[in-house]
Amino acid sequence: MRVPESYYDEIFNFSGQWDMPSACGLKIRTNEGKTYVIVTELYQDNPGTSVTYAGRSLAEQICKAKNLSMSDITYIECNPGTNSKLSFYDEEFFQVVFAADPNTPPQYTPLTGEAIKQLLNE
């Protein structure tokens, strides 16, 4: 069950929970002055922590590596569709908002594929 490369522009290696080597798909787009960071779960091609469990740490690592500011990005998680018969492998997108307090859980808002296309002007 490989994730199609159309979901990402590059593989981003990051330090997951307990410093576990991990990887995700990464796509960064700017549209109408806003920067969108889309991280994609790679399933079996990710040797470590999932994008959801990495959360704020992954967003911070991407910002540091790409010279972005956490306050200036819209962070989106993608669980790509894999044409599986299992519903938990259906395509899903979530906008994630991290609270100022790192101990506060992030807020997840589901987005449709159409909403993603509109955000990115694709």
pLDDT tens digits along 15-58: 999 999 999 999 999 998 999 999 999 988 999 999 999 999 99
Measured distance CA(120)–CA(104) in Å, rounded? 28
Region 92-101 average pLDDT: 94
Classify burial at 99, counting beta carbons within 10 Å of its beta carbon; exposed 0-12, middle 13-18, buried 19 or more: exposed
Percent of the chain whose predicted confidence (pLDDT) is above 70: 93
- The reported pTM is 0.90
Average pLDDT over residues 61-90: 85
The 3-state DSSP class for residue 100 equals coil
